[in-house]
Amino acid sequence: MEKEFDLETLAVRAGYNQTEEQENSEAIFPTSSFRYNSAQQAADRFSGAEKGNVYSRFSNPTVRAFENRLAALEGGDECVATASGMSAILSTFMSLCESGDHVISSSSIFGTTKVLFNKYLKKFGLEVTFVSQTDIGEWEKAVKPNTKAFFLESPSNPLTQIADIAALSTLAKRSGAILIVDNCFCTPILQQPLALGADIIIHSATKFLDGQGRGIGGAVVGSKALVGEEVRGFLRTAGPSMSPFNAWIFLKGLETLSVRMEAHCQRAMTLAVWLDEHPAVEKVFYPGLKSHPQYDLAQKQQKAAGGLVTFRVKGGRAEAWSVIDNTKMISITANLGDVKTSITHPATTTHCRVPEDERLATGITDNLLRISVGLESIEDLKADLARGLDKLV
Ligand SMILES: *Cc1c(COP(=O)(O)O)cnc(C)c1O
């Protein structure tokens, strides 16, 4: 189906085999196990001699439909769905790396991923060097003989820095390392890292893939060898699996992904321009603004600039908090990628566990606010933010 249809069509139709009931909307299979016609068939399924379902920790029709559809959208051979975005990252490193391996990661990654590296994977002998999201020279200098993987997110959260995925893929290949990209913020609608040379894609399905904040889930996409064999082998054994019900939510979420992303990006662009002109705003971080340091790269690498807008208000934490507390409609929550717009103070929420000096060095100052722009009216969004911002001038 992948070669024949465009991305928008794949998002609506790829990956599902209709049952004999001829349902038009995909069915949910909430079952832990599957039955066999005979002892022989049971033996054949367990040995792998016959293809088919065995046990929902590693094979379920609803989960498979979500996996097939996301693989089609990312242009990957295989996708493995996981219980959360974090377990997608854990499963990838547990299956592809071993004690003594070295990983180079952008320092501008999701805070919890940093904790996973620094606190847990380190205990198993994985060494991680953090480098600048945007300075390829730093990545090059960090390469060692035992470097196994490069890891990044682009755009970064919350400062929307853009990594040059194609250039880092070239460096990774030259260094004998694989490139792992967390594509949570762009989704395959805006950016397809495999086509830019990445080897593995990570998703938190919790965010834009669902799009309505209903469940926790994740996914890993890549080749048959790396994902189909290695990552699936880990999932099968260790069990951070996605439930059929959540898979169904995400599968239906994918159907509206392209129109949602387009609408998120349009509103985010309008809001970024408006914030940029507001006298109480010190600086706006949005890859769609010409003032963004990687504006040209974002134009080349992404179809649109994304749904997250970050900005600094004039003042400090008190001023930033007063913008949050003067909203009436926008959700005060750290979640993102939802049709409901959310506002977050990264320094005291998503990045509160990052030591202060490190947090400030990476630009997450006390006057910084992050907005995940939803699908409400842009005029209502501006009015809700203006209530607090206007008081600061
Ligand atoms: C939220 C998030 C994750 C973790 O996903 P969960 O589904 O919450 O486990 C990983 N990476 C990025 C970029 C995220 O925003």
CA distance 239 to 241: 5
Q: Which of 161, 203, 206 for a ligand 1 pocket mutation test, highest count of atoms within 8 Å of Cβ?
A: 206
CA 206 to ligand 1: nearest atom: 7
17-40 pLDDT, tens per residue? 999 999 999 999 999 999 999 999
Distance CA 53, CA 34 (A): 6
Structure confidence at residue 353 (pLDDT):
81
**Of 82, 90, 204, best ligand 1 pocket probe by most atoms within 8 Å of the beta carbon:** 204
What atom in ligand 1 is closest to the CA of residue 153? Answer: 13
Best of 110, 161, 190 for a ligand 1 pocket test (most atoms within 8 Å of beta carbon): 110
Q: Stretch 223-232: mean pLDDT, rounded?
A: 98
**Which are the contacts of 99, defined by CB distance < 8 A and separation ≥ 6?**
124, 125, 126
Rounding to the nearest 10 degrees, give the CA dihedral for residues 339, 284, 296, 156: -60
pLDDT at 3 over 80: no
Distance separating alpha carbons of residues 343 and 193, to the nearest angstrom: 28
Cβ atoms 341, 372 nearer than 8 A? yes
Write the residue with the smallest CA distance to atom 5 of ligand 1.
85
For residue 113, what are its two tokens?
């991923």
Structure tokens at 305: 């600039």
The yes-or-no verdict on residue 355 having pLDDT over 90 is no
Question: In which band, very low, low, confident or very high, does the pLDDT at 12 lie, cut at 50, 70 and 90?
Answer: very high
pLDDT at residue 2 tops 80: no
pTM comes to 0.96
Mean pLDDT of the chain, nearest integer: 96
**Burial class of 207 by CB neighbour count within 10 A (0 to 12, 13 to 18, 19+):** buried
What is the tens place of the pLDDT at every residue in 308-352?
Answer: 999 999 999 999 999 999 999 999 998 999 999 999 999 999 888
The separation between CA 359 and the C-alpha centre of its own chain, rounded to angstroms, equals 21
Question: What is the average pLDDT across 207-230?
Answer: 97
pLDDT of residue 299: 97
Nearest CA to ligand 1 atom 6: 85
Q: How many angstroms separate the alpha carbon of residue 250 from the centre of ligand 1?
A: 15
Atom of ligand 1 nearest to the CA of 109: 13
Whose C-alpha lies nearest to ligand 1, atom 2? 204
Write out pLDDT tens, residues 172-195.
999 999 999 999 999 999 999 999
CA of 21 to the centre of ligand 1 (A): 36
What are the tens digits of pLDDT across the range 44-95? 999 989 999 999 999 999 999 999 999 999 999 999 999 999 999 999 999 9
Tell me, what's the pLDDT at 1? 61
Rounded to the nearest angstrom, the distance between the alpha carbon of 185 and the centre of ligand 1 is 10
Pocket of ligand 1 (CB under 6 A): 84-86, 110, 113, 153, 157, 182, 184, 204, 206-207, 216, 218
Six-digit token string for 85: 């975005």
Domains with residue ranges and CATH for the chain = 7-255 (3.40.640.10), 257-392 (3.90.1150.10)
Q: Which residue has the higher pLDDT, 47 or 4?
A: 47
Atom of ligand 1 nearest to the CA of 216: 7
Using the atom order of ligand 1, give the atom closest to the CA of residue 205.
7
pLDDT of residue 351: 86
Do the Cβ atoms of 372 and 337 come closer than 8 Å? yes
Write out the chain in H/E/C secondary structure: CCCCCCHHHHHHHCCCCCCCCCCCCCCCCCCCECCCCCHHHHHHHHHCCCCCCCECCCCCHHHHHHHHHHHHHHCCCEEEEECCHHHHHHHHHHHHCCCCCEEEEECCCCHHHHHHHHHHHHHHCCEEEEECCCCHHHHHHHCCCCEEEEEEECCCCCCCCCCCHHHHHHHHHHCCCEEEEECCCCHHHHCCCCCCCCCEEEEECCCCCCCCCCCCCEEEEECHHHHHHHHHHHHHHHCCCCCHHHHHHHHHHHHCHHHHHHHHHHHHHHHHHHHHHCCCEEEEECCCCCCCCCHHHHHHHCCCCCCEEEEEECCCHHHHHHHHHCCCCCEECCCCCCCCCEEECHHHCCCCCCCHHHHHHCCCCCCEEEEECCCCCHHHHHHHHHHHHHHHC
Q: What pLDDT does residue 255 have?
A: 98
Mean pLDDT computed over 226-239: 97
Sign of torsion over alpha carbons 371, 380, 213, 232: negative
User: What pLDDT is attached to residue 130?
Assistant: 96
Rg (CA), the chain: 21
How far is Cα 207 from Cα 336, in angstroms, rounded to an integer? 6
> Which of 86, 160, 350 has most ligand 1 atoms within 8 Å of its beta carbon, as the pocket-test mutant?
86
Question: What's the average model confidence in pLDDT over 113-131?
Answer: 96
Distance in Å, CA 85 to ligand 1 centroid: 5
